[in-house]
Amino acid sequence: MNNNRDSQSNIARYLLLGSGIIFILSAVLYNEFLLALFDRNPPLEKATVEKLRLTQIYFLLSSVALISLSEGVRRISLLKSFVQKTLVTNMLLATLSVILPLFILEFSLRPFVKINPRAELNTTTIFVKDHELGWRLNPNAEGEWGGVVVKINGKGLRGPELDYTKPSNVERILYLGDSVTFGFKLESYEQAFPYLVEVVLEDRLGYEIETINAGVSGYAPWQEYIYLSKEGIKYEPDLVVVSFVLNDVTEKFGLIQFGGLGEGSQLERTAMTASDEFFSKTGIGYFTRKISARIRFGTDIQPGAQQKEVLDVESLAYYPYRPDVQRAWKITLEELGKIFDLCLERDFSVILVLFPYTFQFDNIDTLSTPQMVVSQYAFDNGIPVIDLLPILSEKVEDQGAKPEDYFLDVDHLSPVGHEIVSEIIADFIQKERLIVQEEER
């Protein structure tokens, strides 16, 4: 009987001792030099190496605790008698078999979890995840975004909620775009240019114009096409205005869908559920989500996203012939083409509006290449286009103003900027006779 009890205590002692040794080996083998063998772009970042060192300390402390506990089983009668119970030994075996590998895996992966520091601050509730779009506006939500409180209607848009069925004697304009169209940092939806265009046209034309502002922060043409094909067409718009900002070409390559690692700053700033917290902040959850995304979207969706050179907006102007820039344009223009084709198929009139970045005002002759690329594509496809860069540049010069008078930051319009742009768009719509006077209807 005593031999059996001694055998039980020995099993427990060796389990603890063996686990301690495993942690020692993990601490020794888990270092930047061995891990760099599996990294395509060594060396590892300094912050990551610091986290590796901390993980090694965790492993060593765990080994000390387990080996000490093993020795305690051998020397301390109370511990020895406790582990001599078959149930205790079996539970210890089961626990170490499951917890030990999970503990090592979790802390081995955690240094590589990328947590955006902004995600910890100023969370919002106006976005939700979407299987196809990545994210969308949360119907009936109200929350902070861009320093102002934003209300989302029941159909997931900013502004008045409209029925899908268009009333008689009403012209509808549907706007596709990102945060510029959405009205980022504007206190009221009415300050955004889509609704200002409505006011101008109603005053000039003498009948009702309905506006559907489908602008969503962070959206690019690939998302706008999905929205238009699934939701936008339900509104039966007479005119679709596609707003194009230069980051439509670049930002998507940071997303999982395009070979990046992110889900968009919109979701990073969204208040998380318990499951979101797990998948975003634990090593196992984070990499489970990444692996799942790779299976879903492919391992090499867009090679351009893996270039060592950073693809940013200024690259489009300064390095237009760089291979990754050319590749990004090819993808983006194909996305725009899908929007144009759908509009033509549905007999929707469509125009393209090109929004500038403030750095382009420094020298529009040499920095306007991005607008020239899109304008030429639109011209080749018979799409009317408004290039705001030369128009706003002329206004800056004529009025003795500065770009900062029209912009809140590098690309978002100020309230004054929205007013000016709305006049430009309204003038263009009238000139092109996309919407006509009451007596001509």
122-271+299-440 classified as CATH 3.40.50.2300: no
How far the first Cα of the chain sits from its last, in Å, is 102
| Chain centre to alpha carbon of residue 101 | 33
The answer to whether residue 3 scores a pLDDT higher than 80 is no
pLDDT of the residue at 301: 36
Residues 382 and 389 sit within 8 Å (Cβ to Cβ): no
The answer to whether residue 151 scores a pLDDT higher than 50 is yes
pLDDT tens digits for range 179-229:
999 999 999 999 999 999 999 999 999 889 999 999 999 999 999 999 999
pLDDT of the residue at 1: 47
| Least confidently predicted of 11-25, 121-135, 279-293 | 279-293
Q: Where are the domains of the chain?
A: 2-112, 122-271+299-440
Q: What is the percentage of the chain residues whose pLDDT exceeds 90?
A: 59
Query: Band of the pLDDT at 432, cuts 50, 70, 90?
Result: very high
Q: Residue range 116-143: average pLDDT? A: 81
pLDDT of the residue at 314: 94
Query: Band of the pLDDT at 305, cuts 50, 70, 90?
Result: very low
Q: Residue range 335-340: average pLDDT? A: 98
pLDDT of the residue at 271: 62
Q: Which residues contact 148 (CB under 8 A, 6 or more apart)?
A: 185, 186, 187
Q: Residue range 433-438: average pLDDT? A: 71
Beta bridge partners of 243: 353
pLDDT of the residue at 306: 32
Instruction: Count the helices and strands in the chain (H runs, E runs).
Output: 18, 9
pLDDT of the residue at 2: 55
Output the DSSP codes for 298-366.
-S-S-GGGG-SS---HHHHHH-TTSHHHHHHHHHHHHHHHHHHHHHHHTT-EEEEEEEPPGGGGG-HHH
Residues 378 and 387 sit within 8 Å (Cβ to Cβ): no
Token code pair at residue 93: 């075996």
pLDDT of the residue at 159: 97
Beta bridge partners of 148: 145
pLDDT of the residue at 248: 96
> What is the number of other CB atoms lying within 10 angstroms of the CB of residue 151?
13
The answer to whether residue 89 scores a pLDDT higher than 90 is no
User: CA–CA separation, 199 vs 192, rounded Å?
Assistant: 11
pLDDT of the residue at 121: 44
Residues 48 and 112 sit within 8 Å (Cβ to Cβ): yes
pLDDT of the residue at 437: 53
- Mean pLDDT, all residues of the chain: 86
Q: Residue range 399-404: average pLDDT? A: 88
Query: Band of the pLDDT at 266, cuts 50, 70, 90?
Result: confident
Please name the residue that has the structure tokens 């009025």: 399
Q: Which residues contact 84 (CB under 8 A, 6 or more apart)?
A: 5, 6, 8, 9, 12
pLDDT of the residue at 256: 75
Residues 213 and 182 sit within 8 Å (Cβ to Cβ): yes
The answer to whether residue 415 scores a pLDDT higher than 60 is yes
The answer to whether residue 41 scores a pLDDT higher than 90 is no
pLDDT tens digits for range 364-382:
999 999 999 999 999 999 9
Query: Band of the pLDDT at 119, cuts 50, 70, 90?
Result: very low
Query: Band of the pLDDT at 77, cuts 50, 70, 90?
Result: confident
| Least confidently predicted of 69-78, 258-267, 276-285, 324-333 | 276-285
What is the b/e burial string over 423-441, where b = at least 16 CB atoms within 10 angstroms of the residue's CB?
ebbbebbbeeebbeeeeee
Per-state percent for the chain, helix, strand, coil, to nearest 5: 60, 10, 30
Most confident of 22-36, 92-106, 236-250, 275-289: 236-250
User: CA–CA separation, 337 vs 299, rounded Å?
Assistant: 25
DSSP, res 175: E
